[in-house]
Amino acid sequence: MTTPLECAGRAKRRRRFGSIDSAAGEAAVSASYNPKQCRRFALPPHSKFGFIFSCGLLILIAWVSGSVLLTPAQKPQQRRSRTRTQKPKTPPAPKVDYTKFSHTTHVVNQKLACNACHKVPSKNWNVVRKGDAAFPDVADFPEHASCLECHRKQFFARERPAPAICSNCHIAVTPRDTARWLFPSLGDLTDPKLKRREFVSEFGVGFPHDKHIDVVSRLNAATRFVSVSFQEKKSAIPASCPVCHQTYQPQGQSSEEYVTKPPKNIGDNFWLKKGTFKTIPNSHTICFSCHSADSGIAPEPKSCEVCHKLQPAKSAKVDFDATLAASMGADPTMMARWSRRLSAGAFRHEGGEHPDLNCLNCHKVDAATFSTVDFKTMKVPVKSCGGAEGCHITKTTDDGGIMNFEIDAKRKDPNFTCTKCHVTFGKGSIPESHPQAIPTPKPKTK
């Protein structure tokens, strides 16, 4: 049964789903139907939508009216939109290669003194050299304690087979093999079992030649220095020069003048010959003969910074081609000397009459302005290739000067390459200093 207020629509739905199953029930529904009483139950769909829309519209009007009537002080404060200013990103610090030790970082940046790491003498000074050859020297790398204060993290890095930083001093870089490279100051040791690490030093040695020329020559007879490799001693040669500088791999009496066999079509082209280079001291052996703690002659061995000067990156051009030098069989010693030649890369100290000449004719080491750490002062002037009797520079080409000939050839053909003295410089244009070095011929007398 339906309630008296049940509308026809609801009854109809009940009948559809089987809630009213008798004719009597249906009649009762029909009899009790009253549209006025059933209005709230029988709103059509469009009336419902209109009612909802009307309510919403009224609420909107009320809200807008209230907002207009409010004073600025009563209005709720709106949150200001904040624009985030992005901070500039700091670029990541460059990755440090701990396999390459840098003295510049430690001395210049960290302001460390030499004795902060190096101990003079080192503990093994009387082990690396035996008997009378031994003298108090820096003969080993610094101890681990010198490194751990700053590089503990790198020392205990989980790297295999061992932390990368270990390779600066150690050969195998394994916990079982703790052998170290031969320390660079031990250049005089020639035992093949001692492994030497090839590297380019960051230091130049500031050696005042003008203060040593006479002193060293007087001490030459009493010292234990090895004999020189000049073909024979000449009175014109300062006796002090051969003490430190010897002809490297001289030809001597051998018939083979080249370091390695040159190509068959070598012609007048350059090929490396024996006796081209001079040696320089590669240890403290000569220096500490006078400058020792016992002698008291300054600088003493502990004053490393007096002689060893950090060098800036090389900017001076050198007459050197590493690829060409390697193809000619140049060894590390030759490479080191050749890579510093600022003047004539092809010059041979043992060639021609060069062994008979006074070293000071070309190398102005007796001048106060000469400095072994300043490339500009070490450059050999081209005028030294001439002289009273001509040599390589003569008044005219007909007099036989090779530089005269090559200058004339270069002027006729800019592609001509000068090979008598130069390796790479000969491809460039003629320097102003070369024509200026040619002596002016005297006018012919009538």
The Cα–Cα gap between 288 and 16 comes to 122
Q: Per the domain annotation, does 17 fall within a domain? A: yes
- Report d(CA 174, CA 96) in Å as an integer: 22
Model confidence at 251: pLDDT above 90:
yes
In a domain, 34, yes or no: yes
Residue 444: inside a domain, yes or no?
no
Nearest CA among 6, 1, 3 for reference residue 34: 6
For the record, the structure tokens of 443 come out as 């006018």
The per-residue pLDDT for range 60-70, each reduced to its tens digit, is 777 666 655 55
Task: Render pLDDT for 12-41 as a digit per residue (tens, 0 to 9).
Answer: 555 555 555 555 555 554 555 555 554 444
Per-residue model confidence (pLDDT) at position 175: 76
Q: Is residue 235 part of a domain?
A: no
| Whole-angstrom distance, CA of residue 246 vs CA of residue 80 | 84
Q: Which domain holds residue 26?
A: 1-39
Angle of CA points 368, 370, 375, to nearest 5°: 160
Please check whether residue 31 lies inside any domain of the structure: yes
Query: How many Å from the N-terminal Cα to the C-terminal Cα in the chain?
Result: 160
- Above 90 in pLDDT, residue 140? yes
Q: Residue 29 domain-assigned?
A: yes
Q: Give the Cα separation of 361 and 267 in Å (integer).
A: 30
Average pLDDT over residues 295-320: 89
If one counts the domains in the chain, the total is 1
Is 33 inside any structural domain?
A: yes
The pLDDT, as a whole number, for residue 227 is 33
Residue 26 covered by a domain: yes
> What is the band of 223 on the pLDDT scale with cuts at 50, 70, 90?
very low
